[in-house]
């Protein structure tokens, strides 16, 4: 691939990063706090592409160009970039969740909860309070969790949120098992708002033997996939 082709690839890569960073697409790959860096990287790549084109044109004007044509197959390198722009892959879902052990860790503290009914909590927050706080801050409260549905090989239903440290490459699931008033038909990867109450019942993750708390379900409502499908409250 000659310099002009390299400049074209740099430009397309920069444009793809800017496209992702100026829309919600980037949230499928990295945490929200990295957006400025993503936009800066895209801008730098476009500037580098422009500088490469300028340099090559200047050099061509000063000397004869004896370069040989490059194989056209090298242009196939831009296909992944076009796929990123035109066909965005979905966020990680139930397939990854059922094949990866729960990443639940003991929280550093249990902040006071607001007096709301039902009380909206993240999957990570509920799981930490239920397992390591033994439900002391959850007793007698109606809580509402939002996540996607995953089904274990034995049919156990989990409400899951993938937790991020940095990007989708290090995403790990935190799971809450569901019991009680569940719909007769459960479709994996369906996003749900689940209302219920704390129960001391727990199980062990079949993948890594990590703790999984249960939620006693009272109502289940399908919801749209959130703009940010990952839970960034984990290990921040």
pLDDT tens digits for 143-195? 999 999 999 888 899 999 988 777 666 778 999 999 998 988 889 999 999 99
What's the pLDDT tens digit per position in 103-147? 999 988 889 999 888 999 999 999 999 999 999 999 999 999 999
- Report if pTM > 0.75: no
Q: Judge whether residue 235 has pLDDT over 50.
A: no
Task: Report strand pairing: 157-163 vs 191-204.
Answer: unpaired
94-222 folds as OB fold (Dihydrolipoamide Acetyltransferase, E2P) (2.40.50)
Least confident of 3-12, 15-24, 56-65, 217-226: 56-65
* 147/226 Cα distance (integer angstroms): 9
Break the chain into its structural domains and give their ranges: 3-86, 94-222
Conformational region of residue 134, where left means phi above 0, alpha means psi within -120 to 50, and beta covers everything else: left
* 18: its two tokens: 């800017």
What are the pLDDT digits (tens) for 36-87? Answer: 887 888 888 888 888 887 887 777 766 655 555 555 655 666 676 666 666 6
């Amino acid at each position: 691939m000659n310099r002009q082709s390299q400049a074209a690839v740099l430009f397309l890569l920069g444009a793809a990063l800017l496209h992702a960073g100026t829309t919600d697409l980037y949230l499928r790959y990295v945490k929200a706090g990295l957006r400025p860096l993503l936009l800066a990287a895209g801008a730098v790549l476009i500037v580098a592409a422009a500088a490469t084109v300028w340099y090559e044109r200047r050099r061509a004007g000063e000397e004869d160009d004896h370069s040989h044509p490059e194989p056209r197959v090298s242009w196939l390198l831009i296909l992944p970039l076009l796929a990123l722009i035109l066909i965005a892959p979905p966020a990680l879902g139930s397939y990854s969740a059922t094949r990866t052990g729960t990443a639940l860790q003991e929280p550093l503290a249990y902040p006071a909860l607001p007096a709301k009914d039902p009380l909206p909590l993240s999957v990570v927050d509920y799981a930490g309070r239920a397992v390591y706080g033994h439900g002391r801050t959850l007793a007698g409260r109606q809580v509402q969790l939002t996540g996607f549905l995953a089904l274990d090989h034995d049919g156990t239903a989990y409400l899951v949120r993938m937790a991020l440290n940095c990007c989708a490459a290090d995403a790990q699931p935190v799971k809450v098992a569901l019991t009680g008033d569940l719909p007769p038909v459960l479709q994996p990867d369906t996003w749900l708002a689940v209302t219920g109450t704390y129960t001391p019942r727990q199980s062990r993750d079949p993948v890594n033997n990590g703790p999984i708390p249960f939620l006693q379900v009272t109502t289940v409502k399908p919801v749209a996939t959130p703009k940010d499908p990952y839970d960034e409250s984990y290990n921040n």
